[in-house]
Structure 1
Amino acid sequence: MSNTSVPTVLVACRKNAVRSQAAASILRSLAGDRVVVLSGGSEPADAVHPEVREVLAERGLGVEETPKAFDEAMVKSADVVITMGCGEECPYFPGKRYLDWEVQDPHEQPLEQVRAIIDDIEQRVRGLLVEMNIPPADARA
């Protein structure tokens, strides 16, 4: 972990408009202030994918950020780096914990498929929190 007691997780994908935005939103919701969440892309899009916004809104979640590039400082500050679909463009620094989540790209998929993809991302986020010994906010007594 970084110098603080709160771990930092960077979620990265190519456009930072779909998968990484969904994962970051879900992680923020489930972890609250027990995890610092960053997200970025190697080639950021102009806006977050509308269907992703819609599916997250259905769950009472929002997207707090517009797509942006990840930078060296973000990677260096992260304890865990989650990559999704950015291949060799994804950030890498030795000594970090990397998770490469093979998650289908919901771009140009029907809304039902986007929901299924975000369900997959949510299950992965929940699994990560278990590994980090951080109970999801909806599981706390």
Structure 2
Amino acid sequence: MGLTEVVAAASGGVWEFYRDERGISVVKVEISVAGNSEVERAMIRAEVKRIMLAAMEGRLKPYVDLKHLVRNPLLFELRWKIGDAAIPARLWRLYFGWHSNMGPLRVAFKFGEKPRGPEGRAVQDQHIDEAWSRYATWLARTTRT
């Protein structure tokens, strides 16, 4: 994957949130419960809404607002650093895939915090692997229909 795919993924259009086999939008659930307080959860939801609107409108900047993942080049990430004077800043990621044959369609597969420190990479790798598993499941479901 190269610049063409990153530019295409940033170009706006339709977004969906992955649903599990029960039909539950697990990514929306992950977003809604993220954070340690109602204030932090509200900040996270507002930032996700803001960047998702920019994503739909094609206002994301390749390699600034979104990036390919080295661990899995078929996935991309949106990044946030959310916090203020009262709430310490934390890093958040939304992992998604771009499917050119379906729209083009972007599908959000995983949302989670990237901890700082030595455990950060391991947690992030787990999130990426989970996003990839959801992507593979989604592809299998969509190609059957």
Tell me the TM-score normalized by structure 2: 0.31
Tell me the TM-score normalized by structure 1: 0.31
